A and B are shown apart, each in its own frame.
Chain A
Amino acid sequence: MPTADFFPLLLAVPLLPLGAWLLQVLVGRSLPRGGDWLPTGAMLGAFGVAVLLYLRAQGLGDEAEHFVWSTGATGGGHGWKWFVSSEGLDAGLAAFRAGLWYDGLTAPLLAMVAGVSFLVHLFSTGYMRGNSRYTAYFAGLALFSFAMLAMLVSDNLLFVFMFWEVMGLCSFLLIGHDSLDRQKPRPRAAAAAVKAFLTTRVGDVALLLGLAILWNGFGTLQFHELAVAVPNLIEGQQGWPSWLETAGVLIFLGAVGKSAQFPLHVWLPDAMEGPTPVSAMIHAATMVAAGVYLVARAFPVLAPGVLAIIAVVGAFTAFFAATIALTQDDLKKVLAYSTISQLGYMISAVGLGSPDGALFHVFTHGLFKAGLFLGAGAVIHACHHEQNLSRLGGLRKRMPVTYASMLLCTAAIAGVPFLSGFYSKDAILAFAAEGWEAGAGMAATLPLVLLGLAAPLTALYMFRMFLLAFSGEPRSDHARDAKEVPLPMSLPLVLLGLGAVFGAMLWFAKPHPSEDAHHLATILASVSLVLGLGAALLYFQFRKRDAGRTAAALGPFARAARGLYGVDGFYHAVTVMPVRVVARLASSFDRRVVDGIVHGLGGFAVQLGLRLRRLQSGHIQRYLYLTYAGLLALTLFALWRVS
């Protein structure tokens, strides 16, 4: 039951960072400190408003899980009219309308995204100090936050898509931020930015087609109208029409690109070329969460067959990325593959019929993954941009705050009981177990098996990374000289560490799997944790193996995982190389044929001129002869015409 001041407040959440972005772009450079306080302050404001709304929603008590506040539900029309469509008229809807949406899923997510964005802004004021494009960086960050927040309060899929594209642009700008650095330009950052942009574009095209099919079929893209229209259609037709299944698959493909699911996951590890706080932003609060959010919101239109595909693809990605994470030596790459793996869990949860569970994991993952990435940023900052695990180590005593925060976040992602990650992952495993109990065949078994296998791997690779970085003796001078980071950077770490512990309590809509499945999942998760943590401790803590020897010990499997299973190579062969060949052909065509014609024409005129100038000899009597010749020719011509 929204009050009158509710919608302006909700609108203020995305508009604050948008305004900050605008000011930052226009006058940011002339402001003191490059204007970094402007987006940071705006994000703090947005976070404050989001928390206010959250508290108001929490005040509903037991209602909090199910309430919906939207411009569609207040009787005052359905938001504002954007455009009128003839298809919509046929379907009984006069116009495309867009409005605001706020429900029990949005409330914690909105507060989480605003909060994490704010902490990333705050952290960046320390991490990015002295960067040659400081102002531009904060402008990009603000726009990024705006797009994600605006997406979360949209009540229709088209607006979700639009802000989704804004996020694509921002990720491009921020991943490639260092490519334009004035002191040390990094061309690899530009390549990574292009790769991220193009790879997600593949999914975006599919998504747009999917939305077009939905619009054509229903004449609306609003969540609440679709949630009513689809069951009506199914009832009327007694089954899922194939066009709706196609739309579901296309929408899922959009999420595959954005949320870095197999086989479009290749851009996310490369996106590590961006500054580390940007990685935290992309991996925790924005961008990849958008893909999960999309499929969770589009859940009503997903047919059972599509859901099965989603569950299997997500579970496979979770397992597949976990094995790669195990073999990476780069601190940030481990985290990147761990994100892909965790996103696999979320996507799989949607496929298993629990969009609530998926968003629950988005929420908790956002908190601890932001903590992990900012912690990694602190480590990298303190160690003079050393991020190879085999040259870190022994940071526990040197960076106690970072150590404590990272320990909590690592424990949370590994699923240590009573930390936030435990609850959300446990819920997803429980839904997988439920699906396995209820169904039969590969589609029912595979998600549980793959997710179950990924769980101990998660604990193993996360603690491997953690132990290699923090325990033992420092393995390089940079690690030996590391010092704790200053307050603007350590404060976000502390807060996110606390979030990683208590985050699960802030979520309204606790998923409710069946009792049996829940027990099975808890046992599975606990055994996984013991196995993974035990293996990591045994191997890295007590035997002090380094990363390289681990890989050698695992043999051909590790080599395959290290080679990323050839996926990147495959894309290089089938997409990059053909484009290069075509480009080379086009270039030579341009040089030989097009330029040939142009230069040929010019050369012809020049040669003609060179020959004609000889006539201009200066000898008047030669001119006379030429005149006579002309006269003769005219005379002969006249005679010929007459006769």
Chain B
Amino acid sequence: MGLEAYLFVSLLLFLLGLIMAAARRSLIYVLIGLELILNAANLNLVAFQRFHPGAGLDGQIGAIFVIILAAAEAAIALAIVLNVYSRFGSIRPDDMHTLRD
């Protein structure tokens, strides 16, 4: 299996994440979409490291950083979602458009 297959899966994940973040009607799913995008990037990093022998462990370390960031992001984002829910009584993104002109 060549690099292209990994990249293809990564692309798929990325697009799915994009669509999910933009189209789903729940903040939880939007967050999951963002996670998918991050993981698509992770897959890319790991795959490139695997197919570039001279790269050492750079890709893997990058991926670990991204996972940590994703965990932190999820913690903050879920807290925001909780707050949004207590304020608006809903977690539909369409219901929270008070920040507008």
Contact = CB atoms under 8 A, between A and B. Distances in A.
Contacts of B18: 628
Contacts of A621: 21-23, 30, 93-94
Nearest to B30: A621
B93 A616 contact: no
A618 interface: yes
A619 B22 contact: no
B99 to A, nearest CB: 5
B28 to A, nearest CB: 14
Interface string B60-101: 000000000000000000000000000000000110111111
B100 A616 contact: yes
A598 interface: no
Nearest to B27: A620
Given A619-B93, A619-B94, A624 B22 contact: yes
Given A617-B100, A620-B96, 13 more contacts: A613-B101, A616-B100, A617-B97, A618-B96, A618-B98, A618-B100, A621-B21, A621-B22, A621-B23, A621-B30, A621-B93, A621-B94, A628-B18
Contacts of A618: 96-101
B100 A620 contact: no
Interface residues of A, number: 10
18 contacts: A613-B101, A616-B100, A617-B97, A618-B96, A618-B97, A618-B98, A618-B99, A618-B101, A619-B93, A619-B94, A620-B93, A621-B21, A621-B22, A621-B30, A621-B94, A624-B22, A625-B22, A628-B18
Contact of B22 (A613, A616, A617, A628): A628
Nearest to A613: B101
B11 to A, nearest CB: 13
Interface string B4-26: 00000000000000100111000
Interface in A598-639: 613, 616-621, 624-625, 628
Contacts of A619: 93-94, 97
Nearest to A616: B101
B1 to A, nearest CB: 27
Contacts of A625: 22
Contacts of A620: 93, 96
Contacts of B30: 621
Interface in B25-47: 30
Nearest to B21: A624
A620 B84 CA distance: 13
A620 B99 CA distance: 9
Interface in A178-210: none
Contacts of A616: 100-101
Contacts of B96: 618, 620
Contacts of B22: 621, 624-625, 628
Nearest to A609: B101
Closest 8 CB pairs of A and B: A618-B100, A618-B97, A616-B101, A624-B22, A613-B101, A619-B97, A618-B99, A621-B93
Contacts of A628: 18, 22
